[in-house]
Amino acid sequence: MSSHQPQPANAQKQYEVRRADLPLSCPLPSMALWNSHPRVYLPIESEGGESDCPYCGAHFVLVD
């Protein structure tokens, strides 16, 4: 059994993501969902490499 714990959802206001992380969703798959908003997919590529979550306001930046 893995000892890896999910990171808290929406703990930061800005996240850097890579193309390997696409499709982009907030909260990210590595985040715990029990204390967060519903998962929403963000069109970061069509928004010029930056996107904001409409629920929590987290700002995502595509870095590669």
Evaluate whether residue 1 is within a structural domain: no
Within-domain flag for 38 = yes
Residue 4 belongs to some domain of the structure? no
Does residue 5 fall inside a structural domain?
no
Q: How many domains does the chain have?
A: 1
CA distances (Å), 4 to each of 7, 8, 27, 47, 58, in order? 9, 12, 17, 32, 23
> Residue 20 is part of which domain span?
14-62
pLDDT at residue 38 in the model = 92
Is residue 41 situated within a structural domain? yes
Burial 26-41 (b: 16+ CB within 10 A, else e): bbbeebeeeebeeeee
Whether 26 is covered by a domain: the verdict is yes
Write down the pTM of the prediction.
Answer: 0.79
33-49: per-residue pLDDT in tens? 777 899 999 999 999 99
